[in-house]
Amino acid sequence: ISLKQKGKGVLVAARIASDKSWNAASNACQRAALTKARMAQEPAPEESPNLIPQVKLQPGLDDLELAGKSDTQEDSEWSKSGSPESASTPEAQADKPNSKWADFPVEQWRSAVYVNRAYFGQLCSDTADFIVNIAEQVKLSGRRVSLVEVGCGTGEFVRETAETFRVAVGVDFNPHFIEFCKHEAADEGATRQRYVQGDACALVDLMKTEFPVHEGLFWDDVRVVACVGNTIGIIPQHLKAAVYKQMFELAGPSGIVIMAYWNAAWFGDAVQNFYHANPQLCGSFTGESINLGTTTLSTPSGYCTHWTSVSEARAVMDSLGAEIISLKQKGKGVLVAAGAWIETCTDMA
């Protein structure tokens, strides 16, 4: 149900899935006892009393992904025309190819992600804790949980949280990002991770292809569908409704949609200390690109992002007919968990 490394301790909460599992657990305990007995009979290797085991940890990987991921992915995941939010007319959209973001290089992307780590570090940790805690509460009720991250970038957030879920799926429009994620998962032997290239406006169909409904895997679980790191803030306005609809439809009546917005209260600070310091993300810009009234940045490079207030996040969920389970303002973030308690939800079973 939960496994956490806390300083000098490793804390685990678990349940037996079924009566048949008792036999497997008993056999495992017997094997562990035999192994311990054999080890007790073998001479211990020589060791310095001051030797500290070199354990390879991966702190803050979620920091890297959430901090910069979504803003760079504006067109790669959301706009088939490749146009930013500011290109609102069909003519403007037709003039801009989508290859700009669909072919965005992995190396350049990860460079931006690492630069962003310092600014969003605490929010990334808060976001991961928020989602993991919700998943653990579901598991305490006896249900299994799976995760889909919409706009996974190069997969840092999925890799950080995957062990909490039965299966953790990252979806991204950029095929280079997905190939990178698959390679990393294979190197780690991460069998719980899946990565799917495709359009978030067709999210349900993507998951049906990846997980045939009749097989049960994924569809039998409580589905947590997350869009973190302000990915939603860079989606062109005319596509946002479709993305929200697909997320709630995929979650289903018993699932949970989680949004991690960037907090509008921090927009002014971010313009100075995040965007100006990160030109590889949004390009150079002047004051004309900044709209403090709408907390929106639209740069000459075509990059456009919107930061969301607490009241706006609540209004969005209300307009979708969703019931808010939790809404928290956490520093630079606004974290929302909502249930798809709406009649229009499709029963995926």
Confidence category of residue 115, pLDDT binned at 50, 70, 90: low
Percent of the chain with pLDDT over 70: 71
The predicted pLDDT at position 25 comes to: 43
Q: Is 100 exposed, middle or buried (0-12, 13-18, 19+ CB in 10 A)?
A: middle
Span 41-74, pLDDT tens digits:
444 434 333 332 333 333 333 333 333 334 433 3
Mean pLDDT value of segment 320-331? 96
Say how far residue 149 (Cα) sits from the centre of its chain: 4
Mean pLDDT over 257-269 rounds to 97
- 52: which strand partners? none
Tens digits of per-residue pLDDT, 76-95? 333 433 333 333 333 333 33
Is residue 120 scored above 70 in pLDDT?
yes
- For residue 227, pLDDT over 90 is answered with yes
Nearest to 218 by CA among 208, 205, 227: 208
Determine the pLDDT at residue 38: 44
Among candidate residues 122, 261, 110, the one with its CA nearest the CA of residue 181: 110
CA 223 – CA 232 distance, rounded (Å):
19
Classify 102 as helix, strand or coil. helix
Mean per-residue pLDDT over the chain, rounded: 78
Higher local confidence (pLDDT), 44 or 192: 192
Q: What is the mean pLDDT of residues 17-30?
A: 46
Higher-confidence residue of 90 and 240: namely: 240
Confidence at 6, pLDDT banded by 50, 70, 90: confident
- State residue 31's pLDDT score: 44
Burial class (CB in 10 A: 0-12, 13-18, 19+), 35: exposed
Is 70 exceeded by the pLDDT of residue 145? yes
* Cα 32 from Cα 15, distance rounded (Å): 19
Kindly list the distances between the CA atom of residue 15 and the CA atoms of 18, 31, 138, 216, in Å, as whole numbers in the listed order: 9, 20, 13, 21
> pLDDT band at 293, cuts 50/70/90?
very high
pLDDT tier, 277 (very low <50, low <70, confident <90, very high otherwise): confident
Q: Provide DSSP, 199-248.
A: -GGGHHHHHHHHS-GGG-TTTTSEEEEEE-TTGGGGS-HHHHHHHHHHHH
With 60 as the cut, is the pLDDT of residue 222 above it?
A: yes
Give the pLDDT of residue 42.
Answer: 43
Q: Residue 181: pLDDT above 80?
A: yes
DSSP-assigned states of every residue in 195-207: EEES-GGGHHHHH
More confident residue, 103 or 331: 331
pTM higher than the cut 0.75: no
* Percentage of residues of the chain with pLDDT beyond 90: 53
Residue 112, pLDDT score: 65
Residue 234 binned pLDDT confidence (cut-offs 50, 70, 90): confident
- 181 touches 209 (CB < 8 A): no
> Which tops the pLDDT comparison, 49 or 40?
40
The enclosing H or E element of 66 equals helix 61-72
Least trusted range by pLDDT, from 21-30, 154-163, 177-186, 217-226: 21-30
pLDDT value at residue 323: 95
- What residue type is assigned to position 55 of the chain? V
pLDDT exceeds cutoff 60 at 325: yes
Asked if pLDDT for residue 36 goes beyond 50, the answer is: no
